[in-house]
Structure 1
Amino acid sequence: MVRALAGEGWEVTAVSRGGGRGRDWPDGVRAVRADREDDAALASAVGDGCDVLVDTVAYGPAHARQLTALAGRIGSAVVISSVSVYEDDQGRGFDTQDRPGGFPEYPVPLTEGQRTVRPGDASYSTRKAALERELLGAGDALPVTLLRAGAVHGPYCRTPRELWFVKRNLDGRRRRVLAYRGASRFHPAAVGNVAELVRLAAARPGTRVLNAVDPDAPTVAGIGAAIDAVMGVEAEDVLVDGPPPAEGVGDTPWSVPAPVVCAMTAAERELGYRPVSHYAETLPETVAFIERRLAGRDWREAYPKMAQSYGNLFDYAAEDAWLA
């Protein structure tokens, strides 16, 4: 996002807890250290005012009120939300997916008009919904574009789903089990495509909600094949009907019983959006980053948040026992 905005001629101030700079940022970008939980620190970073504030770490109504309190000093805002706010017509969403029959069955493609979960503090999804409600209610005072991002991917990601395939290839695992016959589709969102939406929304202030996903939603098997091609590997997929056949077997970070595939027609219509890249085009950079981060390290050390979120993704003993 920093590169996209700076390249458009914006004077960019990047605020983070560490206050560091990206190695590929233009020289004119100003880096500021601040914790967004500190209202005074954020207000100080905004200073006398800014034309656009881009918020990638807003997670609830308190953060929304923090932004609206600065409305007099912010021309407009672009805030990252999530496709996890959606629920299906039976009231099922990501918060119910672990219950029997609880995974949502969304229309394909999923549009911004789909109903959303009840706002609240119970979960990531309900907090994002509460964030949206608060910000949309302040539209007259602070124009805001809410971007409902899918499965975000790209270099620097702390929870890269691609790790599931990359590490297996590095470990010489040439057979891999895929639940749901490898046909699951969970719509990815490249950071470059999200940045392009931010760039366009910054130039066209307004109050709106838009999906933020890639132009394609490949299957799990398709993702594996694309990663294999990048790594120069040939692997065999063992396709299983239905859910994972055993604990630790066949369950990838994209494996879902029903597709989550979003439409981008609203962004095309309202912003003139065109994607920067397709999923497979982003993989060489992502795979190389993961390989560098894994080099000489246990994967849990390299990606502690991944281990915390998904548990043991590499139970090779369980896989071998099931395959046998």
Structure 2
Amino acid sequence: MVIGASGQIGRPTVTALARDGWQVTAASRGGGRDAAWDEGVRAVRLDRADDAALAAVVGDGCELLVDIVAYDAAHARQLTSLAGRIGSAVVVSSVSVYDDGAGRNFDTLHEPGGFPAYPVPVPETQPTVTPGESSYSTRKVALEHELLAAAQALPVTVLRPAAVHGPRSPLPRELYFVKRNLDGRRRRVLSYRGVSRYHPSGTRNIAELVRLAAARPGTRVLNACDGEAPTVAEIGAAVDAAMGVETRTTLVDGLPEGCVGQTPWSIPGRVVFDMSAAARELGYRPVVSYADSLPETVGWLTGVLAGRDWRECFPLLARAYPRLFDYAAEDAWFAA
């Protein structure tokens, strides 16, 4: 059973499990199907907030439960209350749980001096923030703690993806380069000299980790990222290549005033995650590289944007980066 099956990660996860021989129940709020799913996949409606509805869908039991939308300790308790009916679980968490050991983490990113000094790469043994209800990160840690405390009753693999990319993303960072190319912008500015690295996690690679963990039930916490962590300049070049365009890039130190040079990857350093544990414990090898995954993402974004305002299409991205496409400010910066 896959909870959150109709979302960005859920769709390729259902596909990967079905191809591996699992009889999959795809549960989502709308109960929809993906065109890539095998006819044997059973799609059902599920309100995740309804404990009784979740128990009813699990029914007499399932060998594997994959929870892609679990968010906090309450969701963990939903799953552990059904431990007697679930063989093992794979639950998606987030790399935002990590702390640098000095109180800096994803919650302090935008505070003065708050950018975390993580090791490169970050292993799963890195300290995490304190569990609680105050933020996305603290809630995800609470989810993990609750699940791991019940590991004897319910073996669980916790996966921690980073910058998730692929079709149907509610926060598609690649839009920064795709929309600029569609708008005919043939020059750009990249802050921090374009060397910022924020490790991406392709949805097909996350699905591969789920597939591998499903075949090897156990209790473990694993980073869930791609095989490489390209710089923001390399990402821009790869998007250009996928779209068949050429762009002149100006690299600047630091972050200019205002929004110029700011991308969804613009950070003053590198945030890269260690994938050796996944390789060692599950035999993980990425099924697709970042660059090779881009044509599908670019095609999807191009279709979504056709004739529409990007803020209407991606309100979450617009709230996070309201001036992502302030071309007037950029033109003024070039003129100066």
> Shared topology, TM-score over 0.5?
yes
AA partner of residue 218 (structure 2): G
1:34 aligns with 2:50: no
Q: Using the aligned pairs only, state the percent identity.
A: 69
1:91 aligns with 2:103: yes
Residue deviations 1:106-134, cap 9 Å, x none? 11111001000010111001100111110
Q: Residue 79 of structure 2 aligns to a residue in which SS?
A: helix
How many residue pairs are counted as aligned between the two chains? 323
Look up the match of 2:325.
Answer: 314
Q: Given the alignment, which residue of 146, 150, 163 partners 2:175?
A: 163
The aligned counterpart of 1:59 is: 71
TM-score (norm 2): 0.95
2:311 partner amino acid: R
Deviation at 1:312, TM superposition (A): 2.5
Q: In the alignment, is residue 16 of structure 1 matched against residue 28 of structure 2?
A: yes
Instruction: Output one character per residue of 1:213-263: Cα deviation in whole Å (capped at 9) or x when no partner.
Output: 0000000000000000011111011111012x1212111111111211011
State whether structure 2 residue 240 is matched by structure 1 residue 228. yes
Q: Report the Cα offset of residue 309 of structure 1.
A: 2.7
**1:116 maps to what in 2?**
128
Matches within 5 A, 1:102-251: 102-243=114-255, 245-251=256-262
**Which whole-Å CA distance do the structure 1 matches of 2:173 and 2:151 have between them?**
35
2:252 aligned with 1:279: no
Q: Is the 8 A contact 1:246 1:322 kept in 2?
A: no
8 Å Cα contact 1:193-1:276 kept in structure 2: yes
| Structure 2 spans left out of the alignment, 5+ residues | 1-12
SS of 1:127's equivalent? Answer: helix
* Shift in Å, 1:42: 0.9
Q: Does 1:295 align with 2:306?
A: yes
Give the letter aligned to residue 62 of structure 2. Answer: C
Q: Scaled by the length of structure 1, what TM-score is found? A: 0.98
Select between 36-45 and 217-226 the one with higher mean Cα deviation: 36-45
| Structure 1 position 101, deviation (Å) | 1.1
- Please tell me the root mean square deviation across aligned C-alpha atoms, in Å: 0.8
Q: Do residues 253 (structure 1) and 264 (structure 2) align?
A: yes
SS in 2 for 1:164: helix
Amino acid at match of 1:307: A
- Helix, strand or coil at the partner of 2:176: helix
Letter in 2 for 1:289: W
Unaligned stretches of 5+ in structure 1? none
